Amino acid sequence: MQEPQFLIGLKEGNTDVFSSLFRTYYKDLVLFGSAYIPDRAICEDIVQSVFLKLWDDRKMIEITASLKSYLLTAVKNSCLDEIRHRSIVQEHESYALRFQLRNDIDTENYVLYSDLHSHLMKALAGLPDRYREAFVMNRFEGLKYKEIAGRLNVSERTIEVRIGKALLLLRRYLKDFIGLLFLMFSFG
């Protein structure tokens, strides 16, 4: 089916045309969205939302360029909105964590935490890249082994080994802070 036929059928509310349009462009749009956001599930949600909006606005919508161009632009804008939203959420979570830390621990513990953080950053910088990457994704970004394995295109077992080796090396480097480290990373 050609784009002009898609547009006519869409404006008429033809669900068969809409389904055909969805099947034609869905996979390409999800792939396009993954250039902005690597999480496939989020990209799928974004593309589905774009199609839902297209259906809801079908009678009023005026597409001057190609339909595919319109859909690509809509997916791109939605991805950028999602990235901005995530950034705001991360800033808020970071602020809340800093505020909670300031209120929950006394000065001595705060100094110890600050010192540990400094040593931890140095220790992380000294890890081999693949160990550090897996460790940071798990412990700082909160990703599960399966998610990390998918992102890095390796097995879950490989991620387990990398994080295990990272922890072993960090324990050796940060042996003076092991009690505090245990508290910080045991809940990951």
User: Could you give the C-alpha distances from 117 to 39, 106, 120, 180, in angstroms and in order?
Assistant: 29, 16, 5, 11
pLDDT digits (tens, 9 = 90+) for 10-26: 888 899 989 998 999 99
pTM reported for the whole predicted model? 0.49
Q: Tokens for 158?
A: 């490989």
Higher per-residue pLDDT: 154 or 107: 154
Q: How many CB atoms lie within 10 A of CB 55?
A: 15
Q: How many CA atoms lie within 13 A of 154 on its CB side?
A: 14
Q: What DSSP string runs through 56-114?
A: HTTTT----S-HHHHHHHHHHHHHHHHHHHHHHHHHHHHHHHHHHHHHHS-HHHHHHHH
pLDDT digits (tens, 9 = 90+) for 120-151: 788 888 889 999 899 889 988 888 999 999 99
Q: Please tell me whether residue 36 adopts helix, strand or coil conformation.
A: coil
Domain at 3-85, CATH class? mainly alpha
- Domain positions in the chain: 3-85, 105-185
d(CA 34, CA 22): 18
For domain 105-185, which architecture applies? Answer: Orthogonal Bundle (1.10)
